Amino acid sequence: MSVTLTEKAEFRLRAFLAGSAPDANDTTKGIRISVKDGGCSGYEYAMDVTSKPKADDLVIQQGKITIYVDAESAPLLEGIVIDFIDGVMESGFKFINPNATETCGCGKSFKTSDCSSAGVPCS
């Protein structure tokens, strides 16, 4: 399983996790990424702070960030690059997904060629 955070994304996530951590020594605090059915293109990205990963989550260490990947979503997230953009018109996390054949204008949802991945089925 390959998930890559750009330097900007890792920096933003480290700052966010440091600000949200109730215990600075909590080594399990990380980001859980997944895909859910929805959005304007069929699938929608989800990213949540967690210190209690699910039993079947895949665990990836990227720099100082622990990433928990939902096992059902993993086929749809394989090879994803997560960036952070900060601009006048748009700011936030940007997902660059090699599995996506279409993305919506907001960049938060995507579609695969036939919705037949082992991930969450699209509607």
Q: How far apart are CA 8 and CA 83, in angstroms?
A: 7
Alpha carbon dihedral 15, 17, 20, 21, in 10-degree steps, equals: -120
Give the separation between CA 16 and CA 94, rounded to whole angstroms: 16
pLDDT, tens digit, for every residue of 80-121?
999 999 888 888 898 888 887 767 665 566 767 655 544 444
Task: Give tens-digit pLDDT for 27-82.
Answer: 678 999 998 887 666 788 899 988 888 999 999 999 999 999 999 999 989 999 99
pLDDT of residue 72: 92
pLDDT given at position 106: 58
**Rounded Cα–Cα distance for residues 83 and 69 (Å):** 17
**What number is the average pLDDT over the span 14-24?**
75
Q: What is the pTM of this model?
A: 0.79
